[in-house]
Structure 1
Amino acid sequence: MKRLIDLLKNKYFLASLAFVIWMLFFDRNDVISQYDYRNQVKKLEQERDFYTKEIADVQKDLDELTTNKDKLEKFARERYLMKRDNEDVFVIIDEKPAKKGLF
């Protein structure tokens, strides 16, 4: 017990304790902020990976569209409903989705 009291009276121990408490809870870069920053970095890395993959997919599609005329025609017909001069395009839209069941 006397040793604990002596420890609490030690100015170096008190200064160190105050410094640790300040750094853990009150400083701008405290533990909670560091945890939030780490979560934000992980989220941004996931977004970076997603967008890198999307860019690769779009680049692949662009390369296919610029090199292959059949792919370009298919893309134009499906996406923009383009047609040739002697063709008609019919767009069918289901107003009611079909019921899935026995009756």
Structure 2
Amino acid sequence: MTFKQFKNKPMVKIITNKYVIILSIFIVWMVFLDENSMLNHREFNKEINKLKNEKKYYKTQIKQDRELINKLKNNTELEKFAREEYHMKKENEEIYLIEYDTLVKN
């Protein structure tokens, strides 16, 4: 195949067109090399989704804590919470902690 035959093929004409070359260079630049490339945008979107999930988690935690605070405004609930969570006791009172063994024995 000679150079003239190769040059006259339609695919070669399209590829060697100066506008196609410029456009392909521009696309490569925008996708990979630019500061605001598509790769950077993808990473930023992942980080945004992660932060949104954290925000949702912390909002539910805040809601639960508010409910707990409102519940602990009652003295009997406060006493119950202190006994269950911090093993506090009244004078002349003994506390027994029962722990269950969750390991399976052979």
Pick the TM interval, shorter chain. 0.7 to 0.9
Q: Which amino acid aligns with 2:76?
A: D
Matched, 1:82 2:88: yes
How do 1:1-103 residues align onto structure 2 when only pairs under 5 Å count? 1=8, 7-8=14-15, 10-66=17-73, 68-94=74-100, 97=101
How far the C-alpha of 1:27 sits from its partner, in A, is 0.8
Q: What TM-score, normalized by structure 1, do the two folds share?
A: 0.76
Most deviating of 50-59 and 81-90: 81-90
CA distance in 1, matches of 2:18, 2:102: 80
CA distance in 1, matches of 2:64, 2:42: 33
Structure 2 gap ranges (5+): 1-7
* Count of residue correspondences: 99
Q: Which amino acid aligns with 1:20?
A: I
Computing the radius of gyration from Cα coordinates, the structure with the larger value is 2
Relative to structure 1, is the Cα distance of residues 36 and 85 closer, same or farther in structure 2, using a 3 angstrom cutoff? same
Q: Which amino acid aligns with 1:62?
A: I
CA distance in 2, matches of 1:72, 1:10: 79
Q: What TM-score, normalized by structure 2, do the two folds share?
A: 0.74
CA distance in 2, matches of 1:92, 1:100: 18
How far the C-alpha of 1:38 sits from its partner, in A, is 0.8
| Aligned-CA RMSD value | 2.5
CA distance in 2, matches of 1:27, 1:85: 71
